[in-house]
Amino acid sequence: DIWRYSDWWGLGAEVRNSQKHLWHWRDWVVESVNHDKGYDQMLREMLAADELYPDDMDRLRATGFLARQYFKFNRTSWLDETIQHTFKAMLGMTFNCAKCHDHKY
């Protein structure tokens, strides 16, 4: 799915561990869809709720989108995967080749 939600992380032979507290983000997604929150507002909250609404604990749950890959403990890998997934899920386009080549977009 476009949200890329999973309670567990690990690939192949890696240890599979629970992503603690990520369910708060899942619940926020479900509640947002059920309350007909606009997709544009959902995107704003997922990408920038900590800056736009720093005191709104309900909206801060949306930033779980950014925490999904943080288990890798490598800031560069985390940023790269977050950018790639954001482009795929929200803009419907890949961005992988732009790391090495001039991108057509």
For residues 16 and 8, the answer to whether their CB atoms sit within 8 Å is yes
Same domain, 75 and 63: no
Total domain count, the chain: 2
Structure tokens, 50: 């900590």
Report the run of H or E that residue 26 belongs to, with start and end: helix 23-34
Same domain, 50 and 25: yes
Residue 12 belongs to some domain of the structure: no
pLDDT of 103 above 70: no
How far is residue 77's CA from residue 59's CA, in Å, rounded to a whole number? 26
- Residues spanned by the domain of 26: 18-68
pLDDT of 28 above 70: yes
Same domain, 33 and 51: yes
Same domain, 64 and 82: no
Same domain, 25 and 50: yes
* Residue 37: predicted pLDDT: 95
Taking the model in full, what pTM does it have? 0.72
Same domain, 64 and 23: yes
Same domain, 60 and 26: yes
Average pLDDT over residues 33-55: 94
Amino acid at 93: M
